[in-house]
């Protein structure tokens, strides 16, 4: 038994290193001094942990203990705006996605109707569309409609990613709920009240997971944002970060802002792992 548990803890250690080391190696730069960053080879760990770069990206100067001052980043306006826009856009996208997808997935998962397979295929087609091929059409459409550089425009385009993808996942989830609609009909629930008062509370774990997935897709969306809102007032965090990749690379600030992008999803991840047993795609054993 002891042998097994040593093996197990070794496996856990390897898995954890595998999962967080790439993150660590990059984010470590946020704490390296400019001199350390220029070193070859690079050090495993920073000498001191100071949060100067975080002050910098949000527009404040910071005086290090060593005596030198790192100035506020020129990108800070974009970063602050990116965080606010990102939170705003992702929240709206999440809410709209759920409003759209929950009834849609429910209908596809639980009801039989004509042309269902064809419509499912349409959803699959929407999942399969590569953003890189719809960029130009969207760009030209947005220029004509005046939606370029607007948060509304980005919300609409992000919905085209979240809706089909989340729908695809939720359909499988809804399919596995027990067939309580039959019971509900005997008890005199209408279809709508059955969905609202019985299915929704029953499916709350799955819907919560769907919400997180929608939020993350929106929060992390880069390709459309780069073309449609980069450099405008509707800028989101990913595109703001790409500013650091430009002519004057600031690796420390870049790493600090990447850490900022990971924080909200990480909080979600902690929340998600507790709902893990609820998200099975197969029939639960009765």
Q: Could you say which residues in the range 137-166 bind other proteins, by CB under 8 A?
A: 137-138, 140-141, 156-157, 159-160, 163-164
Q: Does 274 bind other proteins (CB under 8 A)?
A: yes
Q: Does 67 bind other proteins (CB under 8 A)?
A: no
Q: Which is nearer to other proteins, 17 or 66 (CB)?
A: 17
Q: How far apart are CA 262 and CA 265, in angstroms?
A: 6
Q: Does 276 bind other proteins (CB under 8 A)?
A: yes
Q: Shortest approach of other proteins to residue 76 CB, angstroms?
A: 19
Given 178, 231, 233, 249, the residue binding other proteins (CB under 8 A): 178
Q: Which is nearer to other proteins, 49 or 270 (CB)?
A: 270
Q: Does 266 bind other proteins (CB under 8 A)?
A: yes
**H helix or E strand, kind and range, residue 62:** strand 62-63
Pick the closest to residue 97 from 166, 2, 148, 44 (CA basis): 166
Distance of CA 218 to the CA centre of its chain: 6
Given 84, 136, 143, 196, the residue binding other proteins (CB under 8 A): 136
Q: Does 258 bind other proteins (CB under 8 A)?
A: yes
Given 35, 67, 128, 247, the residue binding other proteins (CB under 8 A): 128
Judged on CB neighbours under 10 Å (0-12, 13-18, 19+), 219 is buried
Site for other proteins in 184-213 (CB under 8 A): 185-191, 198, 201-202
Site for other proteins in 211-240 (CB under 8 A): 216, 219-223, 226, 238
Q: How far apart are CA 256 and CA 261, in angstroms?
A: 9
Distances (CA, A) of 110 to 172, 201, 229, 242: 10, 16, 39, 44
Angle among Cα 174, 177, 179 to the nearest 5 degrees reads 115
Q: Does 117 bind other proteins (CB under 8 A)?
A: no
Q: How far apart are CA 159 and CA 126, in angstroms?
A: 11
Q: How far apart are CA 3 and CA 39, in angstroms?
A: 42
Print the binding letters for residues 71-90 with other proteins: x by CB under 8 A, - otherwise.
--------------------
Q: Which is nearer to other proteins, 50 or 221 (CB)?
A: 221
Q: Does 120 bind other proteins (CB under 8 A)?
A: no
Q: Does 16 bind other proteins (CB under 8 A)?
A: yes
Q: Which is nearer to other proteins, 61 or 95 (CB)?
A: 95
Q: How many CB atoms lie within 10 A of CB 249?
A: 11
Query: Largest Cα–Cα distance in the chain?
Result: 76
Strand partners, 62: 70
Helices (H), 63-203: 76-110, 116-128, 131-145, 151-175, 180-186, 191-194, 200-202
Print the binding letters for residues 26-55 with other proteins: x by CB under 8 A, - otherwise.
x--x----------xxxxx-----------
Given 1, 2, 67, 113, the residue binding other proteins (CB under 8 A): 113
């Amino acid at each position: 038994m002891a042998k097994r548990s040593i093996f197990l803890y070794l496996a856990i250690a390897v898995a954890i290193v595998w999962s967080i080391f790439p993150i660590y190696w990059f984010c470590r730069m946020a704490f390296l001094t400019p001199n350390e960053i220029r070193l070859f080879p690079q050090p495993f760990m920073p000498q001191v942990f100071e949060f100067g770069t975080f002050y910098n990206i949000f527009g404040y100067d910071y005086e290090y203990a060593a005596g030198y001052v790192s100035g506020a980043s020129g990108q800070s306006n974009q970063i602050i705006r990116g965080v606010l826009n990102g939170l705003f856009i992702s929240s709206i996208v999440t809410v709209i996605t759920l409003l759209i997808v929950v009834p849609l997935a429910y209908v596809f998962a639980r009801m039989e109707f004509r042309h269902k397979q064809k419509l499912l295929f349409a959803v699959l087609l929407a999942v399969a569309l590569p953003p890189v091929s719809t960029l130009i059409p969207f760009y030209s459409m947005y220029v004509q409609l005046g939606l370029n550089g607007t948060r509304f425009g980005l919300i609409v385009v992000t919905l085209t990613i979240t809706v089909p993808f989340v729908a695809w996942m939720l359909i499988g989830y809804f399919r596995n709920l027990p067939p309580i609609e039959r019971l509900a009909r005997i008890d005199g629930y209408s279809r709508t009240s059955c969905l609202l008062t019985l299915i929704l509370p029953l499916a709350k774990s799955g819907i919560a997971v769907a919400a997180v997935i929608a939020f993350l897709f929106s929060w992390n969306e880069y390709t459309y944002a780069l073309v449609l809102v980069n450099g405008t007032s509707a800028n989101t965090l990913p595109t703001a970060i790409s500013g650091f990749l430009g002519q004057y690379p600031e690796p420390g600030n870049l790493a600090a802002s990447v850490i900022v992008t990971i924080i909200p999803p990480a909080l979600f991840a902690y929340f998600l792992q507790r709902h893990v047993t609820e998200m099975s795609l197969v029939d639960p054993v009765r």
